[in-house]
Amino acid sequence: MQHDLFSTNGSFSKISLGEQSAILRGYALPIEQQLLAEVTAIAAQAPWRRLQTPGGKSMSVMTTNSGEFGWHSDSKGYRYEATDPLTAKPWPAMPEVIADLARNAAAELGFSNFKADACLVNCYQPGAQMGLHQDRDEHSLSAPIVSISLGLPARFLWGGMKRSDRPARIELVHGDVVVWGGVDRLRFHGIAKLAGGQHPLLGAQRINLTLRRAGP
């Protein structure tokens, strides 16, 4: 696994994580204010909530969604839902600025015409974390995943194809975008326990937007 800087382009740099995965440092910074405004609007329609794992534990992150499908978890398992179980209404439409950013970021790694139909929005506060997992609830695994980081820095756990593979710990900061797909699509990944701190725009929290193609 290589983590060296291999190219720069304009205001962002690209750091390789694997054959078909990379961090785009600072890629989202030019539209940070628009992204934050859209997150606020999404949460106003589909309020933040703490989901339950199938085993009955409460997740440490707060969650909401936008797009045609929203990721959900409860005693029935992990899955996508076309309507918000909390409000019984469709999820908020995916903002164009978010969809465009995801499509352009995916294209930087050769994934052309990525059209996300699900945007999972997670809010991490100090002490929150996300254990190692694979993203495999989608109908097709051919589309990449695009992850946008805003707010406090976090340690991204980037593992292998087996849960037992020891993950690398890589710092993600405000404005970073991670893209992975192809041969790297099913790598285990997660977020280490978030440290405390204050971000100038978001205070004591980190917002993460994960865009996927959930439907056919």
Residue numbers belonging to the annotated binding site: 71, 78-80, 122-124, 133, 135, 137, 163, 189, 206-212
> What does residue 161 show for φ and ψ, rounded to 5 degrees?
-85, -10
Other CB atoms within a 10 A radius of the CB of residue 214 amount to: 25
Whole-number Å distance between alpha carbons of 170 and 165: 15
Give buried/exposed letters for 146-165 (b at 16+ CB in 10 A, else e). Answer: bbbbbbbbbbbbbbbeeeee
Cβ atoms of 196 and 120 closer than 8 Å: no
Angle between helices 32-45 and 96-108 (to 10 degrees): 130
Cβ atoms of 111 and 148 closer than 8 Å: no
Structure tokens at 198: 């204050």
44: Cβ contacts below 8 Å, ≥ 6 apart: none
Structure tokens at 172: 């993600």
- Binding site as annotated, residues for substrate: 71, 78-80, 137, 163
Q: Where are the alpha helices (DSSP H) in the chain?
A: 32-45, 96-108
- Binding site as annotated, residues for 2-oxoglutarate: 122-124, 206-212
- Binding site as annotated, residues for Fe cation: 133, 135, 189
